[in-house]
Amino acid sequence: MMEIDFNKGNGLVPVVIQDYESKQVLMLGYMNEEAYKATQSSGYVTFFSRSKNRLWVKGETSGNFLQVKSMDVDCDNDTLLILAVPSGPICHTGSFSCFGRSSVPKKLFFQELEDVISLRATASAESSYTRRLLDEGLDRLIQKVGEEAVELLIAAKNEDDTAFVGETADLIFHLLVLLHKKNVTLRQISQVLEQRHEKK
């Protein structure tokens, strides 16, 4: 157990949460000793709510839990840094980070788009192109991905950089919808690529 000075903050210490993969700061919360021990034993971030005066597991309402990967204490032993894997958007506004959409590195937008697709999958077909795609079934979605891939290859062959970028975006979007349909996540794809990289 780390030496944490809970007395300095009247029984509480601030806790900075970072995304395990990107190191993006997700949120700031507080823990007392009981919340810290609960986090250690469960493997999921548990805070002490100053407004409700009780422990609360991040995600207990939204389902967007924070799975702990590592915990470290700062040099003064009065602040914790937790690297965690989020299971969805962390901010109550629906954003990836509590520090605003603009603070999310652009390389993470694929992950944010994955969350948006999951959200749109539950919207009405009249208001959501994503929902209509999913409702058309797997065969139609596979066909759509194939069509987008062909359009990308034509743009590449024609050496039209603007069209090539646009068609690449179209293909990636439709591929993400297909991944959602197949219940496959970007994290699973990333793990496969990481494993292949380690073998080389």
Instruction: Give the model confidence (pLDDT) of 31-77 as tens digits.
Output: 999 999 999 999 999 999 999 999 999 999 988 999 999 999 999 99
The pTM of the full predicted model, rounded to 2 decimals, is 0.56
pLDDT at 103 over 80: no
How far is it, in rounded angstroms, from Cα 157 to Cα 9? 63
**Average pLDDT of the chain to the nearest whole number:** 91
* CA-wise closest residue to 54 among 34, 73, 74, 37: 34
User: How long is the chain?
Assistant: 200
Give the architecture (CATH level 2) of 13-86.
Roll (3.10)
CATH 1.10.287.1080 in the chain is located at 105-199
DSSP string, 65-109: -EEEEEEEE-TTSS-EEEEEEESS--STTS-SSTT-GGGS-GGGH
Q: Classify residue 149 as exposed, middle or buried by CB count within 10 Å of its CB (0-12, 13-18, 19+).
A: middle
The string of pLDDT tens digits covering residues 106-139 is: 556 787 788 889 989 998 888 899 999 999 999 9
What CATH number is given for 105-199 in this structure? 1.10.287.1080
CATH 3.10.20.810 in the chain is located at 13-86
